[in-house]
Structure 1
């Protein structure tokens, strides 16, 4: 390249998001003493110098970043994390905006405001500064920028701004000039000479100290580092010619111009839609039939997942051909989404059509109970469809239906009465309904609504003259359910006593058995049978102290063996101090997916063990005799060696029976698909368990919907030991495993609407990984179904995921680290 050649990028060609790094807050204070942020009576900032020994509060600061284009806000503001390690508050946080460089104009500005939240919920303004992204030569600014904060003022995005971050030229001192040179040095525009650099930076520190001592008042500067490119970036509007004069004046060429109001409410468009839907055209609409292209567009809309909103044109299309769509039951939920419910006449006609429409399926009725639909008539219609579901199917959705009570408009809604009436006919439904509602009573926002349902259930149970079997009256039925709560309260008391025992797990177990046999001997033999909270159809009559123990864990969960009325026994795990509502949801989804697969004649030998949250931080889990893969591999070196102990067969594959190997392969396939769809994280060999009959299953679902504490997790958990148990990657059994995975994946994709609707109903719940960002979590779930692909393409897609999971090296390294950590622990 010749010396006179100048290379550059055009901003309109850069299809990358705008990124920058918020570095730190630099405080230039008199005598170099740290400032204390406070506000006087006029709400203006002042910096009070305090000693480090003072007990004054330490400020907790964050920076709010907002992009303004031509003086108008563009996109949502972004906030940094809180930082309290003063006086040099350092975030060093990379901010990525949704706006791309190609969308910027020459007057694009970044408004940065520093806030303090150390006084509580009320945010206090420290100061703000605004900086143009392009300089006077219309070149994109890069490198570190030192912005002076306007104390007590929020960053102003208007053009021109009233809070410019750059110090005016006439106010700049020697320090500002030198820092500008340092910025060029850091960008590589000044030659680096080590021995000379050390002398220069030492002199620069001395000048900085002198400047600080001169200042009578403290000053705050925000350091921001803008991303750089290989060459300079020059501003140019999209569609403009950089070298030639614009021919727009002499031609009819269309130029794309950015519109800041795109996506906002448009009164003109809204008025046009209302006119187009005028009820005077109702008679004409009845005879309208969609054309071939319109029919294709409608079919595309009907295939949209329930989480997708409709555009204005799509809503108008469905409304226009509403009469011809009445025989298409899938179209009802989409049609109800396009209704303008604020228009009384339009809403009235929509409700009349709803009752004449082809009756929808139960899974679509769940969508009508989501927060999207507020009409009481629509929600009542959904309940009338649910009445067709049998008890087994209703139990699959009961957890979500209880959560849907949050979205009802009255405390005594149609949905509430429906759940109670069905519970009166089935003691298992009554037991689960009572627990699901009781757990939500702790939510202050909806406590009254849930309590009304609880009260209605109690009142109706007491009115019953005969029980389910005709030998118990309503009072005994309700009293039997209340005794479940008394039992859990006693178990919580036992856990508290056991935890106070000093010593190892063995001593705690001895204390547990001593309590059950002595002071709490009434738990050994109940006065009368109690319905098991996990399985209300089973009556338990007491705890077996000799077969009860404590798990070696931080929370010391109890492993209890209960005697049943028919002489058998059942084992449960009782935990206190851990919110298991997320585990309860995941296991419910495993149970539902197992049911969906079996309806398609595909039994993958899943193990949907029972889980019930009995409080916000307590609950019961069914104990399944099994061993973790970590323990099996430690003692037997391989999965096959372990299975040979229980199912040896000299003539079978790998020395075990063909049935056992088939069970192992199918269960691996089932959980691989389910954990991938639900985005279950933190998978390691300690939460993968294997039963004696070859069934593998997962436990401990603390991370779902793509969240994972480990970096770079694979799509699914497939360790090399599992593949080796199938004979290796080239064996026929591994091929069969992949075939089961793809078949199960395509079956579950057919029920994607049902699964998405169920998660949508959980949007208001307090389950951690959903409550943090419900919309984002549901969209992640939707992405896992790959609804844009057909069944054949999905087979290739899922086989690629399997290969990626098996060949991932980083998770193997993390697993090794985890094993060593467990060993030393």
Structure 2
């Protein structure tokens, strides 16, 4: 890097949490006199004793003068004359979320006086300096005695040391900062002498000031390059890397990505409300009509250009009969203009009624207007309970984007759930799992409270259950999962093989926890709330042989049958829950087009950050089947033999296998599901193939060079080979399913857009990139016929992929030795 070159990071590009280190407190605290219990007649304590202060620092982030996230605290420190924590603090907020006026408020508290905390003082520091660069290194902050840190703008507790207090030491500390940032050349022998001299100067300065001031030292560390503030909404284009040693200087332009004042003024004039009467009669020309139709075909993730927004606004009156145009029109509105926003809302009320899938787009973070979001909820009211359940997970996540805790969306979800126990159960779980989110916990908790109040007011129904009993049946689900967590801890402490753990599990269920064998009152199954479970069958319960030792539990049902569930602890299954929900939705979309591909959308429910329940489907992995039976056909012949049928099995069984293979091939391709191997491809006795374990989605894969879809040669051989009529039928089902799901691409993209704020790993890492990857999989630039050829090429590429076969062989060896 040349001397004239300035390299930097943009704050909006740093997807890391804000970190700093609370170092130490400098200065002498006033001694604290602690009264004892003996008083004289005058009411004054006769004796006092000195107490050593026990201090901690409370750190709170303020953005634009408002608190953001929950405050963090250091540990207590009471050792040595100089209070030193040297404790790293990591906030939940990321650097990309900071604004130019983000500041850190630090308050020192003393807890040595018992229950009553004593305020020592507070200080505040802006995270960006006057040059809009992130502050680095150690910062010495003036502590304001007896004042709590003030995060408002401007602050009343600025940490910057006043000029009249600055001395030689202040100048030297700035040089030390540069030294630590390696901006001053290091010479070991000279550095040692210098730092000794600095200690003497420091002692003399403290003696001169009489230690009358307190200072808090905070270390912000440093990154490889400077960090310059840039708003995440700006359209900043990075320059090409410099390859030659010329005198070109890379500088940061703070105006890049901001609105051009002249263009904005022209746009306002063009949209002047005085033209409203003229605009009513405007009709687009042929060229303009083609442009509008092209815009209406854009996916919901596409950002409109200024010209496109102007075109939609100009012909807004002629577009009112086109329901697909409403969401695009609302994206073209300048919501900061009160008059324009008012006219847009009036037109929205008179627009052709939009579909439910388009209403989901209006609940995304793009739309902040409460009126627009309320309109979307009105459209959602048209959906029946079955359809609403398909979107419930995303609608709960959409609460993050509401402007109030008791929003119209929250009230709608509670109102519909209070009359449907299945919706109520899932809503309660979806909301309670998000309580840990420090930013939106209050919002989710508010919805939980409203649901409880609404349920408790219900009158007895046909089955005689009143609201109180219904709510208690849902509360007992939480109690059950808590007991299962306790069982997993006890079983995990057992030393030995899996069989010993299974014996311990059955011993617990039959002995100490015998109340789980027969419940006092039936509990609604968390996975299927319409089913009442009455107890666990110890003899039919077991443990899977894996690192986390998940429980496989058999429950009795009130109808006299049984149902099996898997309980996992120590693994975040919210991503699995999302994928299985999408499989269930796509199965519904395919069946609406009279295409049943015999999918297996088993139930999954996250009951916490690292725990959850899964429906157990009797099946075997392809790895086991191929190991014991050598081929899939040999395994299916065991259950569905037919001498006259294809390959010695019934035609129905083979058709089921072919259809399920086609369905999951398409779905796993669209969702970009990775880490596919023969251990997470399962086969049921009736020929249905299905996938499990979705730890990698949206294109992520731990294996190098993964094929577009998981289609191993054993599956093709079970269809009679690449030249058979059954394999041709398989490809036909794939192409038909792909084109059907492409028609619902807007719905699927909208649902994933609503998950943008969730804590699901593969979405939270980069929501925009993930959604764009999903959009690419639909190939919206092709027509149906072109997509048939495209998907057939994908199938051929997946079957002929050699490297994945090598990886699969290595995986089998690893499993064998494990």
TM-score for both structures, normalised by structure 2: 0.72
Which of 549, 552, 557 in structure 2 is aligned with 1:559? 552
Per-residue CA deviations over 1:698-729 (Å, capped at 9, x if unaligned) read: 00000000000011100000000000000000
1:59: how far off?
13
Match of 1:669 in 2: 662
> CA, structure 1 residues 45+76, in 2 after alignment: closer, same or farther (shift >3 Å)?
farther
Partner of 1:705: 698
1:711-726 correspondence runs (5 A): 711-726=704-719
Q: CA deviation at 1:44?
A: 1.7
**SS of match in other structure, 1:323:** coil
1:133 CA displacement: 3.0
The secondary structure found in structure 1 opposite 2:507 is helix
Q: Which residue, 756, 759, 768 being the options, matches 1:766?
A: 759
Q: Please show how residues 332-343 of structure 1 align to structure 2 within 5 Å.
A: 332-343=326-337
1:465 to partner: Cα distance: 1.6
Does residue 382 (structure 1) correspond to residue 376 (structure 2)? The answer is: yes
Matched, 1:408 2:406: no
Aligned mate of 2:244, from 122, 133, 148: 133
**What is the CA–CA distance in structure 2 between the aligned matches of 1:348 and 1:60, rounded to whole Å?**
48
**2:477 aligned with 1:484:** yes
Work out which of the residue numbers 515, 536, 539 in structure 2 matches 1:522.
515
CA shift, 1:45, in A, is: 1.2
Deviations 1:264-313 (A, max 9, x none): 42111111111000000000000000001100000000000000010000
What is aligned with 2:460? 466
| Equivalent in 360, 385, 389 of residue 391 of structure 1 | 385
Counterpart of 1:613 in structure 2 is 606
Number of the residue aligned with 1:368 = 362
2:448 maps to 1:454: yes
Q: Confirm or deny: 8 A CA contact 2:137 2:222 kept in the other structure.
A: no
1:737 matched to 2:725: no
Give the CA deviation at 1:470: 4.3
Q: State the 1:463 CA deviation.
A: 1.0
Distance 1:442-1:263 versus aligned 2 partners, 3 A rule: closer
Match of 2:746 among 749, 753, 768: 753
- Contact 2:575/2:695 (8 A) holds in 1: yes
- Whether contact under 8 Å (1:530, 1:539) holds in the other structure is yes
Assess if the C-alpha contact under 8 Å between 2:235 and 2:256 holds in 1. Answer: no
Confirm or deny: 8 A CA contact 1:786 1:794 kept in the other structure. Answer: yes
Residues 622 and 681 in structure 2, CA contact (< 8 A), matched pair in contact too = yes
Structural mapping, 1:409-424, within 5 Å? 409-424=403-418
Alpha-carbon contact 2:525-2:532 (below 8 Å) kept: yes
Equivalences for 1:343-362 in 2 at 5 Å? 343-362=337-356
Deviation at 1:464, TM superposition (A): 1.1
Q: Which residue of 2 aligns with 1:44?
A: 178
**Aligned counterparts of 2:585 and 2:272: Cα–Cα separation in 1:** 44
Distance in 2 between residues matched to 1:786 and 1:65, nearest whole Å: 40
Residues 144-159 of structure 1 aligned to structure 2 (within 5 Å): 157=250
The question of 1:298 aligning with 2:430 is answered no
Query: 1:38 touches 1:45 (CA, 8 Å); kept in 2?
Result: no
Alignment partners' CA distance in 2, 1:60 and 1:609: 48
- Cα distance in 1, alignment partners of residues 251 and 363 from structure 2: 44
Quick one: which of 415, 429, 432 aligns to 1:435?
429
Query: Structure 1 residue 65: deviation in Å?
Result: 8.8
Instruction: Quote the RMSD (CA, aligned, Å).
Output: 2.3
Partner of 2:803: 810
1:41 deviation in Å? 1.6
1:63 is matched with 224
How many residue pairs get matched?
610
Aligned residue runs from structure 1 range 158-237, under 5 A:
none
User: Would the alpha carbon gap of residues 49 and 666 (structure 1) be closer, same or farther in structure 2, given more than 3 Å must change?
Assistant: farther
Instruction: Give CA-to-partner distance per residue, 1:675-717, whole Å, 9 cap, x none.
Output: 0000000000000000000000000000000000011100000
> How far apart are 1:552 and its partner, in Å?
0.3
1:655 and 1:662 mapped to 2: Cα distance?
13
* Alignment pair present for 1:538 and 2:699: no
Structure 2: unaligned runs, 5 residues or longer: 1-135, 139-171, 181-185, 192-218, 229-233
Partners of 1:59 and 1:710 in 2: how far apart? 37
| Partner Cα separation in structure 2 for residue 528 and residue 594 of structure 1 | 35
Residues of 1 paired with 2:267 and 2:261: CA distance? 10
For residues 450 and 275 of structure 1, the distance between their equivalents in structure 2, rounded to whole angstroms, comes to: 43
Aligned to 1:792: 785
CA-CA distance at 1:737 after TM superposition: 0.3
Q: Which residue of 2 aligns with 1:627?
A: 620
**1:306-332 deviation line (CA, Å, top 9, x unaligned):** 000100000000000000000000000
Structure 1 segments of 4+ aligned residues over 4 angstroms from their partners: 37-40, 46-51, 58-62, 74-77, 98-101, 259-264
1:280 is the counterpart of 2:274: yes
Aligned-partner Cα distance in 2 for 1:651–1:726: 16
Q: What does the per-residue CA deviation read over 1:107-153, in whole Å, with 9 as the maximum and x for residues that have no partner?
A: xxx5xxxxxxxxxxxxxxxxxxxxx83548x9xxxxxxxxxxxxxxx
Q: Which position in structure 1 is the counterpart of 2:540?
A: 547
Is residue 314 from structure 1 mapped to residue 308 from structure 2 by the alignment? yes
Whole-Å separation in 2 of the counterparts to 1:626 and 1:444? 40
Report if the CA contact (8 A) 1:75-1:99 is conserved: no
For the pair 1:583 / 2:576, whether they are aligned, the reply is yes
Aligned to 2:773: 780
Partner Cα distance (1:407, 1:38) in 2: 36
User: Displacement, 1:158?
Assistant: 5.1
Q: Distance in 1 between matches of 2:324 and 2:526?
A: 38
Distance (Å, rounded) in 1 between the aligned partners of 2:227 and 2:522 = 64
Find the aligned partners of 2:188 and 2:699 in 1 and give their Cα distance: 47
Q: Secondary structure at the match of 1:425?
A: coil
Unpaired segments ≥5 residues, structure 1? 1-36, 52-57, 68-73, 78-97, 102-109, 111-131, 139-155, 160-258
TM-score (normalizing by structure 1): 0.72
Is the Cα contact below 8 Å between 2:674 and 2:694 reproduced in 1? yes
Q: CA contact under 8 A between 1:38 and 1:48: conserved in structure 2? A: no
Greater displacement, 298-307 / 259-268:
259-268
| Corresponding residue SS for 1:63 | coil
CA distance in 2, matches of 1:60, 1:504: 47
Distance 2:188 2:783 in 1: 67
Give SS of 2:409's match: helix
